[in-house]
Amino acid sequence: MTVTVHIDLGYEFEVKAKFDEVFAVLSDVPRSVSHFPKVEKLTDLGDGVYQWEMQKVGTAQVNIQTVYASKYAVDKAKGSVKWTPVKGVGNALVGGSWKVTDQKGKSTKLVLKIDGTVDVPVPGLMKMVVEPIVAAEFEKLVDKYIANLIKTFGGEV
């Protein structure tokens, strides 16, 4: 049986770095992903599409490796970096966006949204246990990613 776990996360914070520096990091997918923990491999599939392969998480008996691809679109004038899921790659569909806003040249406001699903092959009886664990693990990874970015950008305002 496969359990589908829904991921819906939103974050808003402000960093000390200037817009151009922040946007340069977030719009460069490999550079941005280098701040994300537990990425085993990032593959450029061309045409703005990247395949993510995460490290396996779980126990020896039950573990999962999340693999997915997303297509990225960058618009500096709008301060946006968006990604949409690519169907047929791996066991997850992940989309989201960064909204980057200059704060009068003094700092940069960031809004991150992530929406997706992860399919986990587990026995039906484990559904109630697996869903919160997978969702919490994903959230922990995103929290660490944000902490790493904040450090790169000189801290929060």
From the list 141, 143, 152, the residue with the least C-alpha distance to 108 is 152
For every one of its 157 residues, what pLDDT tens digit does the chain have, with 9 covering 90 and above?
A: 898 999 999 999 999 999 999 999 999 999 999 999 999 999 999 999 999 999 987 677 667 789 999 999 999 999 999 999 999 999 999 999 999 999 999 999 999 999 999 998 887 788 888 888 889 989 999 999 999 999 999 999 9
11 part of a folded domain? yes
Check: pTM over 0.85? Answer yes or no.
yes
33 part of a folded domain? yes
Q: Which distant-in-sequence residues (6+ apart) come within 8 Å of 47 by Cβ?
A: 71
131 part of a folded domain? yes
The CATH number of whichever domain residue 127 belongs to comes to 3.30.530.20
> How many domains in the chain?
1
157 part of a folded domain? no
75 within 8 A of 83, measured Cβ to Cβ: no
From the list 135, 143, 151, 147, the residue with the least C-alpha distance to 57 is 135
From the list 127, 130, 98, the residue with the least C-alpha distance to 113 is 98
